[in-house]
A and B are shown apart, each in its own frame.
Chain A
């Protein structure tokens, strides 16, 4: 009985954690390693969500020859599609794969373009630029109805429905495995000479140029491929919610929280980032479950999470600015005596 209630809860929290891990570890590579202060992380994430909102369902409607408007007759179309998807394994899987690639393409193009436009900016100005860009995209998404249903959002069909009773568990595994693959890629990059180059950009860009590195091209590369992965996070979030509402991709959930995760865990350290993400998700979950017991507080409990977010930022900045697991000094292996034999 306990297991039956706790297991879904644990898996649900784990998927939530895993998806946030993409956001925070991408930010860690951008900000913690390369020093690109991207405060508008959510533009890449929402670009993935817009792709899954606009592309696969339209394609499915076209493939099945359903003569209805996907946006304005959304609920009806989705229920029809769910019926079709239940008997057809190929179409939803195929659509999902297309969606992933399309999302990565759109995410990386946006990442490239906006980074290109902001090459001369650094630090605060760069952060503000990205925040403005992301807000502009959000406003566009909220008001341009054909993209993601505008202010009301749209529902998505269940792409895993053909799995029957396994649907939920397969879907959850999928949500957990993909982020960890992405995390492994980031960790691999961080440990390579390329990761070292990124840290050098953060420390002194001009000095690095005077050592023969094209730092601009490296920064563009980093933003392009992290944005592609962030777009995957957007797709996963939408699949998990089975809907896309442009307004939910906002600065608090998809920029400030990842920033706190990175700062709390330790910028420039992927393991720290993992830990920071875990701590933040657990705190958020506890607040979510317990807040209705806290009605006696003099504030509207709606805002409790936001208040805690701000408080946590201040506490981290004052007491632990380097994070729980600070960036390690990378040891060069052959310099350690035990390795010198080989």
Chain B
């Protein structure tokens, strides 16, 4: 199995704070990697650096053997990396279905020259709409399709954010707390979809999630980040046995 994403000695500074401090990690193809750590430990910053939202100060990021360090977010997405946000980054005054159609990336009607000619984009738009219907049904929000996104509840917004994943063709997905504020049944369902997407479509996932009770069952590998540095790494069984994890992240073990 090849390595799809490789991060080498990455550093991101905000003033004097080294939010990500010399982090190196690898994500093998078709794997689900979990990033955990206390709040403010640099997990999201790391994902943002990979997605191009922040420019790293030092270090390199390789995706499929290509150097993507410091590229623009849209370029990185078009190479096949998708990031979802912890706080849903959606389009408030557009309807749910319009949001989903925006999540669909390759509509030719989004070119100005094609926009005037319905014939040129109708076919792809129909495909996108079919995908949208399936996605809405999968996430059980099909009754909300014509509501504006800002009329949804917090959990539904989270689902809308997650639907970016289902609408896209990305090979590497960076998920920032995908199941925070989602009920346990649906949360397990989402992780089942993630596993399915990995198995059937060959996608790779890097996930930041605090709800270990749900997430741990599904992941292959865990990195623990503390103060921007990697504290420990390994398979779930290994990492959960480590004493230092309980000291910095989970509640201290009873003595």
Name A193-234 residues within 8 Å CB distance of B. Answer: 193-197, 199-200, 203-204, 206-215, 221, 225
Q: Measured between C-beta atoms, what is the minimum distance from A54 to chain B in Å?
A: 29
On chain B, which size bracket covers the interface? 35 or more
What residue of chain A has the Cβ atom nearest to residue B92's Cβ? A203
Contact B116 A192 (CB under 8 A): yes
Contact B146 A212 (CB under 8 A): no
B110 beta carbon closer than 8 Å to chain A: yes
From known contacts A206-B53, A210-B51, infer whether A200 and B109 are also in contact, taking CB-CB under 8 Å: no
Contact A211 B77 (CB under 8 A): yes
List residues of chain A with CB within 8 A of the CB of B92: 203-204
Contact B89 A212 (CB under 8 A): no
Name A285-342 residues within 8 Å CB distance of B. Answer: 327, 329-335
Q: How far is the CA of A215 from the CA of B102 in the complex (A)?
A: 13
Q: How far is the CA of A226 from the CA of B85 in the complex (A)?
A: 34
B73 beta carbon closer than 8 Å to chain A: yes
Q: How far is the CA of A333 from the CA of B101 in the complex (A)?
A: 12
Contact A211 B103 (CB under 8 A): yes
Name B85-119 residues within 8 Å CB distance of A. Answer: 85, 89-95, 97-98, 101-103, 105, 107, 109-112, 114-116, 118
From known contacts A193-B101, A194-B110, A210-B51, infer whether A204 and B146 are also in contact, taking CB-CB under 8 Å: no
Contact B121 A192 (CB under 8 A): yes
Q: Measured between C-beta atoms, what is the minimum distance from A26 to chain B in Å?
A: 15
List residues of chain B with CB within 8 A of the CB of A188: 115-116
Contact B90 A196 (CB under 8 A): no
B72 beta carbon closer than 8 Å to chain A: yes
Contact check: which of A192, A209, A211 meets B109 at CB < 8 Å? A192
Q: How far is the CA of A185 from the CA of B115 in the complex (A)?
A: 10
Contact check: which of A185, A199, A210, A330 meets B53 at CB < 8 Å? A210
From known contacts A185-B116, A192-B116, infer whether A199 and B110 are also in contact, taking CB-CB under 8 Å: no
B145 beta carbon closer than 8 Å to chain A: yes
A98 beta carbon closer than 8 Å to chain B: no
List residues of chain B with CB within 8 A of the CB of A185: 116
List residues of chain B with CB within 8 A of the CB of A211: 74, 77, 82, 102-103, 105, 164, 168
Contact check: which of A194, A195, A200, A335 meets B111 at CB < 8 Å? A194
From known contacts A194-B111, A200-B102, infer whether A327 and B73 are also in contact, taking CB-CB under 8 Å: no
B227 beta carbon closer than 8 Å to chain A: no
Q: Measured between C-beta atoms, what is the minimum distance from A3 to chain B in Å?
A: 39
Contact B72 A329 (CB under 8 A): no
Q: How far is the CA of A42 from the CA of B118 in the complex (A)?
A: 32
Q: How far is the CA of A215 from the CA of B77 in the complex (A)?
A: 13
Contact A329 B121 (CB under 8 A): no
Contact check: which of A193, A195, A203, A334 meets B91 at CB < 8 Å? A203
Contact B110 A213 (CB under 8 A): yes
What residue of chain B has the Cβ atom nearest to residue A222's Cβ? B112
Contact check: which of B78, B103, B111, B145 meets A332 at CB < 8 Å? B145
Contact A207 B111 (CB under 8 A): no
Contact A335 B129 (CB under 8 A): yes
Q: Measured between C-beta atoms, what is the minimum distance from B76 to chain A in Å?
A: 8
List residues of chain B with CB within 8 A of the CB of A204: 89-92
From known contacts A189-B112, A211-B77, infer whether A335 and B145 are also in contact, taking CB-CB under 8 Å: yes
Q: Which residue, of A193, A196, A208, A330, has the highest number of chain B Cβ atoms within 10 A?
A: A193
What residue of chain A has the Cβ atom nearest to residue B174's Cβ? A210
B8 beta carbon closer than 8 Å to chain A: no
List residues of chain B with CB within 8 A of the CB of A196: 94, 98, 101-102, 110
Contact B102 A208 (CB under 8 A): yes
Contact A330 B115 (CB under 8 A): no
List residues of chain A with CB within 8 A of the CB of B82: 210-211
Contact A193 B107 (CB under 8 A): yes
1/0 per position for A23-55, CB-CB distance to B under 8 A?
000000000000000000000000000000000
Contact A335 B133 (CB under 8 A): yes
What residue of chain B has the Cβ atom nearest to residue A217's Cβ? B74
Q: How far is the CA of A212 from the CA of B94 in the complex (A)?
A: 18
List residues of chain B with CB within 8 A of the CB of A203: 90-94
User: Would you mind naming 15 contact pairs between A and B with Cβ atoms under 8 Å apart?
Assistant: A192-B121, A193-B121, A194-B110, A195-B115, A197-B110, A203-B93, A210-B73, A211-B74, A211-B102, A329-B148, A332-B101, A332-B132, A332-B145, A332-B146, A335-B145
Please list the residues of chain B having a beta carbon within 8 angstroms of any beta carbon in chain A.
Answer: 51, 53, 72-74, 77-78, 82-83, 85, 89-95, 97-98, 101-103, 105, 107, 109-112, 114-116, 118, 121, 125-126, 129-130, 132-133, 145-148, 164, 168
